Amino acid sequence: MFQGKHFDRPVILLCVRWYLAYNLSLRNLGELMTERGISVGHATVHRSVIRCSPKLLKRFNRRKRSVSRTWHLDETYSKVRGQWKYLYRAIDSNGGTVAFWFSERHNLTAALRFLRKALTRHGHPERIVIDGSQTNKEAILPCDGESRLQDRSRRRLEPIGIRQSRNLNSRIEQDHRAVKRRVQSMLGFKSANNARVIIGGIELIHMMWKQQAKYACHQQLSLAEQFHLLAA
């Protein structure tokens, strides 16, 4: 990840972590580095974030602890070139992030793709809580059948219980806020690909703050400590 790069590993990691975690612009980060005697252009910081975020997220997912069997599913929004795009998210009953998916469309196909990804990674939940979205309900039913057919655990899986309640799903609406707060301060994205990568990095930081890594859940490590362990 860092081989052959102009800047040392600690500098790259610091810039990437600060950008994803805090409401700092790329130019803010360049100025902070200059104060520390390191000349880093804002374009360099952006390239580092785009390059490192997917690799760090992939490493994190291999070390992520399991989630509970009750999920809350919802979607939120973000602008790309002035147009609204959609971020599908699910958390478990303990508030841990189950999965997320950035989509350019808000339809049944997008909901199906998101759910299949979540079920493949985390297995079959007992219940999914949604708001009044009929599209999400229509996506759960076929994904439930597919998941039970593909299961190799030899245990009998019950159909996923679907609970539609706006009040019960306020849990995930609250969880959206941490991600949306960072995204909104960026004033929109220039492309869907950049949005997907950077939002993935923001979600990574959000999971670290929730202590969702196996190596962090019993040690109460700081964000910086978790980040460096992940990149080691």
**Mean pLDDT throughout 34-57?**
90
Read off the pLDDT band of 166 (50, 70, 90): confident
> pLDDT tens digit string along 5-17?
556 778 889 999 9
For residue 43, the model assigns a pLDDT of: 86
> pLDDT tens digit string along 193-232?
999 999 999 999 999 999 999 988 778 899 999 999 998 8
Residues 219, 202, single domain; the answer is no
Cα 146 to Cα 107: distance, rounded to the nearest angstrom = 19
Residues 88, 186, single domain; the answer is yes
For residue 199, the model assigns a pLDDT of: 97
For residue 6, the model assigns a pLDDT of: 56
Domain membership flag for residue 2:
no
Q: Quote the domain boundaries for residue 224.
A: 9-63+215-231
Cα 168 to Cα 166: distance, rounded to the nearest angstrom = 6
**Mean pLDDT throughout 106-120?**
95
Residues 58, 21, single domain; the answer is yes
Catalogue the E-assigned strands of 81-201: 83-92, 97-103, 127-130, 161-164
Residues 27, 74, single domain; the answer is no
Residues 75, 58, single domain; the answer is no
Domain membership flag for residue 160:
yes
Take residue 69 and report the two structure tokens written for it.
Answer: 């069997």
Residues 223, 151, single domain; the answer is no
Read off the pLDDT band of 168 (50, 70, 90): confident
Query: Alpha-carbon torsion 150, 151, 156, 160, what sign?
Result: negative
Better-scored residue on pLDDT, 122 or 132: 122
Domain membership flag for residue 4:
no
C-alpha closest to that of 72 among 22, 19, 119, 127: 127
Residues 142, 189, single domain; the answer is yes
For residue 155, the model assigns a pLDDT of: 67
For residue 7, the model assigns a pLDDT of: 62
Domain membership flag for residue 182:
yes
Percent of the chain having pLDDT more than 90? 66
DSSP 8-state secondary structure symbol assigned to residue 196 = H
For residue 153, the model assigns a pLDDT of: 63
Looking at the predicted structure, is the pLDDT value of residue 137 above 60? yes
Residues 129, 146, single domain; the answer is yes
Read off the pLDDT band of 2 (50, 70, 90): very low
Residues 186, 222, single domain; the answer is no
Domain membership flag for residue 105:
yes
Residues 84, 199, single domain; the answer is yes
**Mean pLDDT throughout 108-122?**
95
C-alpha closest to that of 96 among 75, 130, 66: 66
Domain count of the fold of the chain = 2
**Residue 161's domain is classified under what CATH number?**
3.30.420.10
Cα 204 to Cα 223: distance, rounded to the nearest angstrom = 11
Domain membership flag for residue 30:
yes
Read off the pLDDT band of 182 (50, 70, 90): very high
Residues 83, 106, single domain; the answer is yes
Domain membership flag for residue 75:
yes
Residues 105, 203, single domain; the answer is yes
Better-scored residue on pLDDT, 156 or 111: 111
Domain membership flag for residue 1:
no
Determine which helix (DSSP H) or strand (DSSP E) holds 75, and give its type and residue range.
Answer: strand 70-80
